[in-house]
């Protein structure tokens, strides 16, 4: 379930987000807390037994000056280490008076500065099948699957490394011209960053995820090869 502005207002029976003071969203498969950042007067938030995957979602709550009570237990983000979880929450939300129905002590707040992990950015947006980031309710930015101004530029070795991991045949050197357009230093740096991210993510994927990448890369390569043939005519 995606928690939208409309859903927050409906649950809180409020007309505006800044008038929401108490919100109970327990057991609703909620995965993102982004709309909460606009509830500036929120003081109590109950999110037990949802689908919040990352503690980075706490970033959206750091701007809430009146938040005093938070119930976040029994979410995937709590992880296997309850101490690390509690210390991280308290480091990022030091104004809490009660966390998971347990009072917060001054000693815990001091210890959280040592043991807790500081969260400085929200979690990355989920990427949809068309390659675009998932949009929130207020987003007005349109996304196309293949912007003409941004092409991924890889060397022959890098391209074949990816193809090898995907179980695909390498690209012959004499056929590589269309895969490696002329690039500037800036585009090369961007390319290298993207390549590193792709290779790291691939290590985390299961068979189904790799199959999706395999199919997507195959389609992309076919399109580039077709374009090369048209340019040669």
Q: What is the pLDDT of residue 156?
A: 65
Global pTM exceeds 0.95:
no
17 domain residue, yes or no? yes
Task: Check residue 49 and give left, alpha or beta (phi > 0: left; psi -120 to 50: alpha).
Answer: left
For the chain, what is the domain count? 2
224 domain residue, yes or no? yes
Q: What is the pLDDT of residue 9?
A: 82
178 domain residue, yes or no? no
How far is CA 225 from each of CA 130, 132, 214, rounded to the nearest angstrom? 20, 23, 16
Beta bridge partners of 205: none
Among 59, 84, 115, the domain boundary falls at 115
203 domain residue, yes or no? yes
Cα(137)–Cα(47) distance, integer angstroms:
21
Q: What is the pLDDT of residue 28?
A: 84
Task: Note whether 92 and 69 are within 8 A (CB).
Answer: no
Q: Give the number of other Cβ atoms within 10 Å of residue 159's Cβ.
A: 21
Among 86, 115, 144, the domain boundary falls at 115
> What CATH number is given to the structural domain containing 61?
3.80.10.10
- Give residues with Cβ within 8 angstroms of 112, minimum separation 6: 86, 87, 88, 90, 91, 94
Q: What is the pLDDT of residue 129?
A: 46
Among 63, 94, 115, the domain boundary falls at 115
Task: Note whether 37 and 15 are within 8 A (CB).
Answer: no
- The C-alpha R_g of the chain, in whole angstroms, comes to 23
Provide block-wise average pLDDT over 10 residues at a time, the chain (233 residues). Answer: 77 83 88 88 93 93 95 94 96 96 95 93 64 46 39 60 68 58 54 66 70 76 76 68
173 domain residue, yes or no? no
Q: What is the pLDDT of residue 176?
A: 56
133 domain residue, yes or no? no
Q: What is the domain extent for residue 20? A: 5-115
Task: Note whether 85 and 79 are within 8 A (CB).
Answer: yes
């Amino acid at each position: 379930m995606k928690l939208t502005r409309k859903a927050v207002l409906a649950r809180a029976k409020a007309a505006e987000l800044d008038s929401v003071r108490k919100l109970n969203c327990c057991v609703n498969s909620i995965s993102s807390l982004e709309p909460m950042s606009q509830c500036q007067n929120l003081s109590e938030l109950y999110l037990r037994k949802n689908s919040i995957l990352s503690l980075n979602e706490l970033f959206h709550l750091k701007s809430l000056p009146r938040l005093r009570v938070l119930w976040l237990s029994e979410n995937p983000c709590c992880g296997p280490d309850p101490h690390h979880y509690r210390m991280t929450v308290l480091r990022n939300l030091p104004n809490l008076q009660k966390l998971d129905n347990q009072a917060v002590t001054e000693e815990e707040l001091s210890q959280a500065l040592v043991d807790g992990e500081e969260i400085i950015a929200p979690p990355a947006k989920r990427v949809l099948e068309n390659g675009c980031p998932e949009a929130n309710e207020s987003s007005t930015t349109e996304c196309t699957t293949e912007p003409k101004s941004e092409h991924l530029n890889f060397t022959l070795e890098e391209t074949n490394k990816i193809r090898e991991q995907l179980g695909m045949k390498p690209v012959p050197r004499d056929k590589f011209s269309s895969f490696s357009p002329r690039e500037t230093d800036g585009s090369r740096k961007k390319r290298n960053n993207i390549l590193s991210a792709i290779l790291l993510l691939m290590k985390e994927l299961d068979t189904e995820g790799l199959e999706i990448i395999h199919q997507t890369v195959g389609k992309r390569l076919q399109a580039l090869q077709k374009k090369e043939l048209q340019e040669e005519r």
